[in-house]
């Protein structure tokens, strides 16, 4: 089986690009962030304090997360319920950022992610795919962009949905999440030593896909 790892900070476009590459390559796309967000949905629905590690640890064993595909679109199932529509809310994102640092949460999901990679060709995106989850991936890419560029993308996305939002507040939240992700004790966000850095600040989607496709082709040729 072959695996491609894409890491990077929030809002860098990892999921969008990974989905397009998976379709292009015929790989299965595994959105690891969606798994963490599914756990976050459970914590929110059950009023679990994200700062209470003991409560988080006690809840993990009650959570089952699976991934299904319907008409080629990934569906995330939490304890038998499709929670895909709840994954992209601001509340879920903040809860996921706070709870993904805990060992019990990460241990459970890393095992699931590695299991998927053993069954089929996968492309995964997240914060620690190349460093922790799939250290033997044949292609590793660190996708990033300036906080201004990432905030603008999120702002435009929310505005398009008709939601009221503040660019400055979004940027501040992104920078806070970056700091938390990079400084957490367990599996901090960092570029793997053998990952290729791609800054997408001034690139459109087509340009990013082309750049990553070239990197993957070169990695395949060099294997």
- In this predicted model, what pLDDT tens digit does every residue of 17-59 receive, in sequence order? 999 999 999 898 988 888 999 999 999 999 999 999 999 999 9
Cα separation of 13 and 74, whole Å?
17
By CB atoms closer than 10 A (0-12, 13-18, 19+), residue 126 is: buried
Whether residue 201 is predicted with pLDDT greater than 70 in this model: the reply is yes
On the question of pLDDT at 177 being above 70, the answer is: yes
pLDDT at 100: 87
pLDDT digits (tens, 9 = 90+) for 81-128: 999 999 989 899 999 989 988 999 989 899 888 988 888 899 999 888
What was the pLDDT predicted at 185?
Answer: 82
CA pair distance 30, 61, nearest whole angstrom = 22
Q: What is the pLDDT of residue 175?
A: 95
Per-residue pLDDT, 141 = 97
Annotated binding-site positions: 8-16
| Token pair of 161 as six digits | 């949905």
Q: Tell me what pLDDT residue 77 has.
A: 92
Question: What is the C-alpha separation between 40 and 56, in angstroms, rounded?
Answer: 10
| Binding-site residue ranges for ATP | 8-16
Give CA separation, 193 vs 69, 165, 190, in Å. Answer: 33, 37, 9
Q: How far apart are the first and last CA of the chain?
A: 13
Q: Model confidence over 62-84: pLDDT tens digits?
A: 998 888 778 878 899 999 999 99
Report the mean per-residue pLDDT for the chain.
Answer: 92
At residue 74, φ and ψ (nearest 5 deg) are: -65, 135
Q: What is the pLDDT of residue 220?
A: 87
**pLDDT in the model for residue 51:** 96
Give the pLDDT confidence score for residue 223 in this predicted structure. Answer: 64
Please name the helix (run of DSSP H) or strand (run of DSSP E) that holds residue 34, with its range, or none: helix 32-45
Q: Which domains does the chain carry?
A: 1-26+121-217 (3.40.50.300), 30-119 (3.40.50.300)
Q: Are 95 and 40 in contact (CB under 8 A)?
A: yes
What pTM was computed for the model?
0.78
Tell me, what's the pLDDT at 221? 84
């Amino acid at each position: 089986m072959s695996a491609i790892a894409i890491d990077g900070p929030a809002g860098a476009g990892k999921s969008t690009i990974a989905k397009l590459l998976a379709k292009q390559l015929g790989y299965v796309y595994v959105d690891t962030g969606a798994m963490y967000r599914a756990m976050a949905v459970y914590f929110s629905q059950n009023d679990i304090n994200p700062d209470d590690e003991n409560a988080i640890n006690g809840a993990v064993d009650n959570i089952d997360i699976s991934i299904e595909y319907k008409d080629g679109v990934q569906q995330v199932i939490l304890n038998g319920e499709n929670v895909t529509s709840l994954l992209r809310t601001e509340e879920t994102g903040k809860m996921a950022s706070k709870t993904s640092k805990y060992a019990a949460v990460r241990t459970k999901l890393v095992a699931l992610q590695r299991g998927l990679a053993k069954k089929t060709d996968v492309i995964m995106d997240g914060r620690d795919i190349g460093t922790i989850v799939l250290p033997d991936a044949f292609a590793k890419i660190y996708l990033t962009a300036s906080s201004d560029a990432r905030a603008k993308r999120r702002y435009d996305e929310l505005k398009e949905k008709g939601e009221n939002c503040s660019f400055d507040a979004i940027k501040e939240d992104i920078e806070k999440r970056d700091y938390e992700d990079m400084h957490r004790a367990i599996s901090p966000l960092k570029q793997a030593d053998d990952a290729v850095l791609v800054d997408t600040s001034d690139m459109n989607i087509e340009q990013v896909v082309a750049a990553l496709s070239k990197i993957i082709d070169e990695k395949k040729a060099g294997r």
